[in-house]
């Protein structure tokens, strides 16, 4: 016979891929923020060789600010999107 804890473990059994898909569907701007962050970091590493006379610390600070700005922007847009879905797009009973 199954105990209560065994039943709860069976109902929440999901693979890593299905968990990520479910979370991405609940908050669609999180993967966009992560992808943008990774793209800005990759661009910063690519431009590291051709930065000209710019100091290394200034280059890294600019890349950090750009990456953080993209993530904060994606979080803000995601919050506004969820507020729109919750309060304005919901049909009134």
Residue 30 and residue 23 in contact, taking contact as beta carbons nearer than 8 Å: yes
Say whether 14 sits in a helix, a strand or coil. Answer: coil
Query: What are the tens digits of pLDDT across the range 1-48?
Result: 555 555 555 556 788 888 888 888 887 888 888 899 899 989 988 888
- For the entire predicted model, the pTM comes to 0.66
72 pLDDT higher than 80: yes
- Asked whether the predicted pLDDT for residue 91 surpasses 80, the reply is no
Q: In the chain, what are the domain boundaries?
A: 27-93
pLDDT digits (tens, 9 = 90+) for 40-69: 989 988 888 888 888 988 988 999 999 999
């Amino acid at each position: 016979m199954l105990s209560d804890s065994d039943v709860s473990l069976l109902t929440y059994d999901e693979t890593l891929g299905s968990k990520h898909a479910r979370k991405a569907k609940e908050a669609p701007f999180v993967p966009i923020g992560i992808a943008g962050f990774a793209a800005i970091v990759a661009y910063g590493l690519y431009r590291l060789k051709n930065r000209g006379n710019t100091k290394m610390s200034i280059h890294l600070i600019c890349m950090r600010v750009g990456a953080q700005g993209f993530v904060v922007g994606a979080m803000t847009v995601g919050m506004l999107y969820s507020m729109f879905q919750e309060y304005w797009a919901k049909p009134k009973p």
